[in-house]
Amino acid sequence: MNDQDDPNLVTSGKSQRVVVDGYAFLSNIHRLETDTTWSLEVVDRQNDSHVWDNQFETDSEARDAALTARNSEGAIAFMRVNNVVQFPRL
């Protein structure tokens, strides 16, 4: 398989930058062009990535999941260290 065979990454127009409790976050909603479900990732102020385990049928559902988490828990939902898996440093 070469790079031309790899599917493109589709970014939803519902992806957005938001400020919660004074902290900026990026909500990225993506899918591969060959997939029908969407992935949700929230990137925090330290550039840590928080990715939902489940996939979403629509990009609106993914956006709503991010909004629900932010509204119910505030910025702290994405700033806890116990929910971040660190990549090994090379």
pLDDT tens per residue across span 45-82: 888 888 999 999 999 999 999 999 888 888 777 765 55
Q: Domain residue spans in the chain?
A: 3-81
User: 78 Cβ partners below 8 Å, 6+ apart?
Assistant: 20, 25, 42, 44, 48, 50, 69, 70
CB atoms within 10 A of CB 88: 4
- Three-state DSSP state, 59: helix
Q: What is the pLDDT of residues 8-38, one digit of tens each?
A: 999 999 999 988 888 889 999 999 999 999 9
- Residue 28: alpha-carbon gap to chain centroid: 4
Residue among 66, 57, 84, 85 at smallest CA distance from 26 = 66
